[in-house]
Amino acid sequence: MKITTKQITTTAVLLAICIVSQFFKNTSVYITGPIINACLILAVLSVGIPCGIILSVITPVTSFFITGSPIIGAIPAIMPCIMAGNALLVLGVGLITKKCKGNGGLIAGMAAGSVVKALFMGIVISLILIPNLLPAPMEAKMAVFQTTFSVTQLVTSLIGSVYAFILWIPLKKVIK
């Protein structure tokens, strides 16, 4: 597969938006999360699944370097699970919108991708990794961590989907 200049440029711009938003993560995950999810979705819609997956892999790494998440520092295995969850969102949006055209297909893809991402992260991170690998000094925050990697992921994915949908309406006329 050959990646075009348009794909590289669009992916780079969306990555820059993600990085800037990550500086606000310590303010609220409800600011950063929807922006990153919207960028993942816009990447898929504008330049394809491979570019969305590239962002899915890069954004958790940049987030860790910017915010220094204590939970990821304590349980590094969470990082690839976040990448996989993001990739599931990207694949859900990409595959369903390819199969089901129009706004209905886009909405279905966003909803399905958000749910699959949240379910995957909720099961793997919240129910398996955190209960089994969380260091004893952090156990008091277990419920918060579990909520962050399950319910919060669903909420931020759905909000990001709304943002992406609103932005995609005018963008699709310019980009496609």
Alpha helices for the chain (secondary structure H): 5-22, 29-47, 49-67, 70-74, 78-99, 102-121, 130-133, 142-148, 151-175
pLDDT at 136: 94
- Is 142 within 8 Å of 134 (Cβ atoms)? yes
Mean pLDDT is lowest, of 23-27, 76-80, 134-138, 170-174, for 23-27
Taking only the tens place, the pLDDT of each residue in 111-137 is 999 999 999 999 999 999 999 999 999
pLDDT at 162: 98
Q: What angle do CA 48, 62, 169 make, to 5 degrees?
A: 35
| In the predicted structure, residue 176 carries a pLDDT above the cut 70 | no
Q: What are phi and psi of 122, to 5 degrees?
A: -65, -45
Taking only the tens place, the pLDDT of each residue in 47-87 is 999 999 999 999 999 999 998 888 998 999 999 999 999 99
Closest CA to 77 of 127, 129, 119, 134: 129
Q: How far is CA 50 from the centre of its chain?
A: 14
Which whole-number Å values give the CA distances from 158 to 34, 110, 149, in the listed order?
8, 7, 14
pTM of the predicted protein model: 0.94
**Alpha-carbon dihedral angle through residues 155, 160, 163, 167, given to the nearest 10 degrees:** -160
